[in-house]
A and B are shown apart, each in its own frame.
Chain A
Amino acid sequence: MSDKKKFMFLNRRAPYGTIYAWESLEVVLIAAAFEQDVSLAFIDDGVFQLVTGQDTTGIGMKNFSPTYKTLGDYEVRHIYVDKDSLEARGLTQDDLQVVPWEDWETEETVDNIVEVVDSARLAELLEESDVVFSF
């Protein structure tokens, strides 16, 4: 029996107003350390987590947004963003961070693993997952 499972982290909250975004990131890093197949999906207000240019100096909270662009180094291979959620918030992929990925053994590289997907694709991805963690 393979121990490797497909983990999907479902992020639906905006950053800073609640602790969900930060907690999700913590658990993602833990899961990746256990060599699981880790994907992230950003839906509803979760898409705001990936917006570039966050500056928290005025609110006295840690700006954890730079962590997202390092997720490729933690062997996160897929980051999916819900197209409908982006559109409802007046955002496009250009407003979001770029997350590069590289396979250290094969040296295969992907410039950006952030992928905007439609509802049908997202539904498939969720169904294909072994475990879905909701934040």
Chain B
Amino acid sequence: MSDLHTVNKSPFEKPSLDTCLRLSKPGSSILLYEDAVYAALTGTSVTDKVAGILGERKVYVLEPDFKARGLKPERLIDGVEMVDYAGFVDLVDACDKVQAWL
């Protein structure tokens, strides 16, 4: 199994997501949480960047953080999967290791 990359910074404010996308291997998984959940929205200046890597990486978004920010599930990019805390744990368990892009 491959690595799980976690990103928690807003893609509009910090380059964490860009660096994660640049340095993560195809086949790996990316979990967006805290302020990184904004990266999972359609209709933004970073939508294409995230949608563009979905073929070669799986992208997950943490539902409690998504809901806390008042974001609508209809605006979730097609192919991005919503997970809860238990799902987060399952991902950590299923992957070789966790690489955090703080």
Chain A, 39-64, contact with B by CB distance < 8 Å: what is the 0/1 string? 00000110010011111111101010
State the majority secondary structure of interface residues on A.
Answer: loop
* Tally of chain A residues near chain B (CB < 8 A): 24
Is there a chain B Cβ closer than 8 Å to A14's Cβ? yes
What residues of A have a CB within 8 angstroms of the CB of B12 in the complex? Answer: 44-45, 88-89
In this assembly, does B42 line the interface, its C-beta being within 8 Å of a C-beta of chain A? yes
B3 CB within 8 Å of chain A: no
Main secondary structure of the interface of B (DSSP, over half): loop
Q: Which of B23-31, B49-57, B68-76 contacts A (4 or more CB under 8 A)?
A: B68-76
Minimum C-beta distance from B89 to chain A (A):
15
* Interface membership of chain B positions 78-92, coded 1 if the CB is closer than 8 angstroms to chain A and 0 otherwise: 000000100000000
> Once the chains bind, are B38 and A61 in contact (CB under 8 Å)?
no
B16 to chain A, nearest CB (A): 12
Q: Is B6 an interface residue (CB 8 A)?
A: no
- B35–A45 contact, CB under 8 A? yes
Given A16-B34, A89-B12: A55 in contact with B68 (beta carbons within 8 A): yes
Shortest Cβ-Cβ A-B pairs, 5 listed: A58-B64, A90-B43, A17-B35, A53-B70, A54-B70
Residues of chain A touching chain B, judged by Cβ–Cβ distance below 8 Å, are 13-18, 44-45, 48, 51-59, 61, 63, 65, 88-90
